[in-house]
Amino acid sequence: MRLSVSTVFLFSVLLLGMISYPSINFGDKITSDLNSSNYLISAFAEEDEDEKNSEDKIKNNEDETEDELDDETEDELDDETEDELDDETEDELDDETEDELDDETEDELDDETEDELDDETEDELDDEKDQEDGETEIEVEVKNDKAKVKIKLNDEEYRFVVNDDVSESAIIATIIDKTGLTEDEIRATWDFETEDETEDDEDSVKNELRLNEKIMKHENKAQENAEQIILQLQQKIDQLEQRLQDLLDKFETGEYFGTVTSADTMPDSYGISFNGLATSLDDDSIVSDVDGDIYLESITTGTDSFKLRITGGEILIGDTFYDFVFGKARLSSSDGNTSMIILGQVMDDQGNINTIRLTLDTATALTGEFGTAPVSFDIDSSRSKIAKQWGLDASGDFALLS
């Protein structure tokens, strides 16, 4: 049993008392003293127990305090952890929200930029289309005392002939009458070509270059025109007569040109230019001037024969234009003579499509140098015609273009 400081102190006081008073009869009062001792011991024991209880209470209080502190600390830690988690969660949410907003803003900006670019591109295309639609083209070619005039104005096209007076003033007056354009607008736009047969020899190189440029331009336009007509015919093929449907099908598959062996890897381009007279097949008293240009491309080139395809062309009879849609030609040479047979389809101003057949004859034999210089020929009137309309009697030149 542990003795506290208080108990030791009381024992010390008792002991000193006994020493200080020796005359006291302790025997008489032994019982009393024992009782007193028992009382003191009991008191000491109770005091010790009280101290122990106090210590236990203190300890318990300390434990309670420690528990409370632990609880408080735990609560504080929980609160802090919760706060930290809340803060982190809030930060993460803020970051995610900010990222989402940034992404959304970026997406919106991308969409807006893309839309703006699309709108700008569409506007540019519309502007280009408007410019193309609003573009005016005027082409005038004076040849054989006849002026052929072709005009593209907005979505309308004009094509006509001026016969009586081919001076610039007369041609301009006719254009004004048909289109409403002013003279300044016409002169600022037109491409005016004349045929000068009194050229000086010293300008022959320049004139040849100019002639080649003009031929090339006409060839390209004729080819574009033929391709456009074919496209238009294909779009309404079900409405065409069966004969033309069959021809278009054969043209598309290549069957139209027959069997081709040893095709030219680098095709040559040729041009035919002619003029003469056309006689009506219904009434031979009706005779009109005829002139034409036909453009061809070699399919196969042999020693004494060529096979060619027609890429485009135009024939003018009186005031009526005939455009080549497609066609083919065969050139052969024998016994010092050369002949060419042309077979194709032409369309007039009213959209009627007819077969054309031309037979060209020349006294020039086909040699390896053929085509390097223009070769003159005659059109055989007995074997040359536009079906059901005209018989043709003319002459012209056949030449290599490129």
> Mind listing the pLDDT tens digit for each residue in 103-129?
555 555 455 555 555 555 555 555 544
Closest by CA to 347, choosing from 355, 339, 335, is: 355
The overall longest dimension of the chain from CA atoms, in Å, is 193
Least confident of 198-202, 233-237, 361-365: 198-202
Which residues touch 391 (CB under 8 Å, ≥6 apart)? 278, 279, 281, 381, 384, 385
pLDDT at 132: 46
Kindly state the DSSP code that residue 4 receives in the 8-state scheme. Answer: P
pLDDT at 126: 52
* String of DSSP letters for 73-98: HHHHHHHHHHHHHHHHHHHHHHHHHH
pLDDT at 235: 87
User: Is 28 a residue whose pLDDT tops 60?
Assistant: no
pLDDT at 39: 42
What does the pLDDT average to over 206-220? 78
* String of DSSP letters for 217-265: HHHHHHHHHHHHHHHHHHHTGGGS-HHHHHHHHHHHHTGGG----S--S
pLDDT at 370: 62
Q: Are 337 and 361 in contact (CB under 8 A)?
A: yes
pLDDT at 217: 84
Q: Are 239 and 218 in contact (CB under 8 A)?
A: no
pLDDT at 374: 86
Q: Are 373 and 245 in contact (CB under 8 A)?
A: no
Which residues touch 170 (CB under 8 Å, ≥6 apart)? 162, 164
What does the pLDDT average to over 240-262? 90
Tokens 């041609």: give the residue: 171
Strands 136-143 and 146-153 turn out to be antiparallel
pLDDT at 41: 42
* String of DSSP letters for 33-71: HHHHHHHHHHHHHHHHHHHHHHHHHHHHHHHHHHHHHHH
pLDDT band at 368 (very low <50, low <70, confident <90, very high): low
Least confident of 73-87, 341-355, 362-376: 73-87
- Most confident range, picked from 102-111, 143-152, 369-378: 143-152
What does the pLDDT average to over 271-294? 95
User: Is 276 a residue whose pLDDT tops 80?
Assistant: yes
In a 13 Å sphere around the CA of 262, the CA atoms on its Cβ side amount to 7
Q: Are 340 and 360 in contact (CB under 8 A)?
A: yes
Closest by CA to 390, choosing from 272, 290, 258, is: 290
Gap between the Cα atoms of 14 and 236, Å rounded: 143
Gap between the Cα atoms of 322 and 316, Å rounded: 6
Gap between the Cα atoms of 304 and 367, Å rounded: 7
3-state secondary structure of 109: helix
pTM: 0.63
Closest by CA to 271, choosing from 198, 212, 319, is: 212
pLDDT at 327: 97
Pair of tokens at residue 61? 């209080």
